Amino acid sequence: MSHIFGAIVWDVDPELINLFGKLSIRWYGLMFAGGLILGFQVAKRFFIADGYTLKEIDKLAMYIFIATIVGARLGHCLFYEPGYYLSRPLEMLLPIGFENGSMVFKGYQGLASHGGILGVFLSIALFCWQSKKSFFGVLDKVAVGGSLTGVFIRLGNLMNSEIIGKATGSDAGVIFKRVDDIPRHPGQFYESMSYLIIFFILFYLYKKKKDKFGKGFLFGLFFALLFTARFIIEFFKINQVGFEDGLTFNMGQLLSIPFIIGGIIVMVWKRKPELNS
């Protein structure tokens, strides 16, 4: 990374190491996995304090990890490229592709955060149904850790030089050398820092103020803050797929609106402890 004419030149190799010329270890994968682990470690402290057993916590962790990846993958395939993937269903869930009639390893090229969050939501519902735990109580804890996970996932996107921003129209900005020589908004960094602020807000409220709200309030706040930030930052990012160019709001913004509304509804519903059943 270097500076040129007031801009930051970003030319980081997405691949951290390649073993034997076949196994690629990339920054994004490490950031994704590390973010999941760190986020859940934060939530784990809250679960233990509330009397959850390690067996219950490990079960929930497994559900969430699987649901995050599967949901994010299906979200990208169905929200952004349904025409392609519905005709190639194997490529939705398997890290493969077909070129010239031959199967090749491609990795998971495309993950959507909205799909990942929906997957986590459903996995938590399944866990609570099986374990007879408070649904909104679990959501509050996971929301705090989830906001931290989002920080690392977006930093992973930065390391990949993907989900880049629009041109700044000046010499200031970030030049993603692996894309072009235009100073751009670092949309990934904007999102990462927004999620970090949200994490600190939620962590503070959970540690110091959670008894002042009903169970589920912090989860609603998480949705409202995270997807409002996402909606705003999308104005500074280029569209991910071609069909978005003809839309007033891109797909990321359209998908964020119901999450924002849902978060506000939950906050109003769960704003006082006595409203909990």
> Cα(277)–Cα(269) distance, rounded to whole angstroms?
11
Average pLDDT over every residue of 195-201: 97
Tens of pLDDT, residues 81-134: 776 666 666 666 666 556 666 655 555 566 667 777 888 889 999 999 999 999
Residue 149: phi and psi, rounded to 5, are -60, -40
Beta bridge partner(s), residue 10? 176
Q: Give 145 or 93, the one with higher predicted confidence.
A: 145
DSSP character at residue 274: G
Q: CA 71 to CA 54: how far, in whole Å?
A: 25
pLDDT of 207 higher than 90? yes
Average pLDDT over every residue of 205-210:
93
The HSE-up count of residue 50 (CA atoms within 13 Å, CB side) is 19
Token pair recorded at residue 129? 């149904």
Cβ–Cβ under 8 Å, residues 186 and 158: yes
Other CB atoms within 10 Å distance of the CB of residue 145: 26
Token code pair at residue 136: 């909104």
Is the pLDDT score of 275 beyond 50? no
CA–CA separation, 65 and 133 (whole Å)? 19
User: What is the rounded average pLDDT of the residues 38-62?
Assistant: 94
Q: Which pLDDT does position 104 carry in this prediction?
A: 56
- Beta bridge pairs of residue 102: 99
What's residue 276's pLDDT? 45
pTM for the structure as a whole: 0.83
Q: What is the pLDDT of residue 26?
A: 83
Nearest of 190, 185, 156, 198 to residue 72 by alpha carbon: 156
Other beta carbons less than 10 A from residue 109's beta carbon:
11
On whether the CB atoms of residues 168 and 238 are closer than 8 A, the answer is no
Q: Return all residues near 140 (Cβ < 8 A) that are at least 6 apart.
A: 206, 210, 215, 216, 217, 218, 219
Please state, in angstroms and rounded to a whole number, the distance separating the CA atoms of residues 5 and 174: 11
Whether residue 157 contacts residue 28, with contact meaning beta carbons closer than 8 Å, is answered with: yes
What is the CB neighbour count within 10 angstroms for residue 134? 15
pLDDT value at 67 more than 60: yes
- Which of 22-31, 88-97, 167-176, 248-257 is the least confident region? 88-97
Q: Give pLDDT tens digits for 146-179.
A: 999 999 999 999 999 988 899 998 888 999 999 9
- The bridge status of strand 102-105 relative to strand 2-4 is unpaired
Residues facing 24 on adjacent strands: 18
